[in-house]
Structure 1
Amino acid sequence: MTSSSAGIVFGLTGAALLTVGTLAYQAFATAPAKLAGTQASAASSAPKAPRDKRHPKALPGRSGHGERVVYSLDDDRIWLVAPGDRVTRTFTVTPSSVDPEPGTYGVTSRSNRATGSDGTAIEHVVRFTSVEGVTIGFSAAVDGSSPTHDPAVKTGGIRESRPDGDALWEFATIGAKVVVIR
């Protein structure tokens, strides 16, 4: 190969790599959280989502759009939101000892049965992020109990009742959007 043909091959290879890299970056930057499977946005200083004081169970404003699970850290409440921003179910939960940051996430894994980090048998586990090595997700205790928090133990299980856990399990499949608000 002559030096001029080697230069052409080198130039074409560089151009191809630049093009592929640019396209990959654009695809990742515009992919919805449902496809990306990672945290799409988070803000530790996120303002509290506006609430309807007359209807405390009403879906808070600024909690996203489209089909999603909305989890309020301040209210310990979940809303299952169908297309058209129609709430199909809302319920209270027992929070974990480690909170996720407010933001938009995608469901990354699910388990029908498992053992919680507190040693409790749990079902319908729906995971969506981790914080400092602690996996965060929704689950229901098989025996129907609520966890008692030991401040020395970091847990990520947000517990719901078994009927609410069944509903969330059916609703939040892999890639489903989870919006965490204050």
Structure 2
Amino acid sequence: MSIHILALVGSVRAGSHNGQLAQAAAKLTPEGVELSIQENLDQVPFYNEDLDSEGSIPQHAAALRESAARADALLLFVPEYNGTMSAVLKNAIDWLSRPYGAGALSGKPVAVIGASGGQYGGVWAHQDARKAATAAQANVLEDITLSIPDSLTRFADTHPLDDSEIATELKSVVVRLAQAAERATAAHV
């Protein structure tokens, strides 16, 4: 059985270090694990219950929900904007939290990691992302953490995939998240 992990990247900027981390994670998956990166998060409209009605959900919001529903686990790559997570990531979590009690995150293993230009690696944003995912009824794996500080310098000339320390840590995150997904899947069989 193959485990599918869906990556949500909270930065839509071309060349984003969190986007590069997600690309690296997709290449570091072990056999039996697939990691896909959700595209077009910046095209998902802000959550509005008026838009969230049966049969008329906006295209990109519906695609996000479908991708998350098919995934066995989610890996959130969280930049820090003004001390918290980005609006695009918070919006994605909001769409995935509905319908309440049956949202696409409900019961799914979720890990939160990321890089930031600041000296703490975005830990405040990561805490907020964990809190929002928990409120959306995800099974947030608090023991999986990776907060990479000073990414502007660290990745100025090196892609995260070519940074052996980061590549090792990233692979460990993916393996541990896949193991959590396997346990969750086995518990539901």
TM-score normalized with structure 2 length: 0.25
Mark the structure with the bigger radius of gyration: 1
TM-score normalized with structure 1 length: 0.26
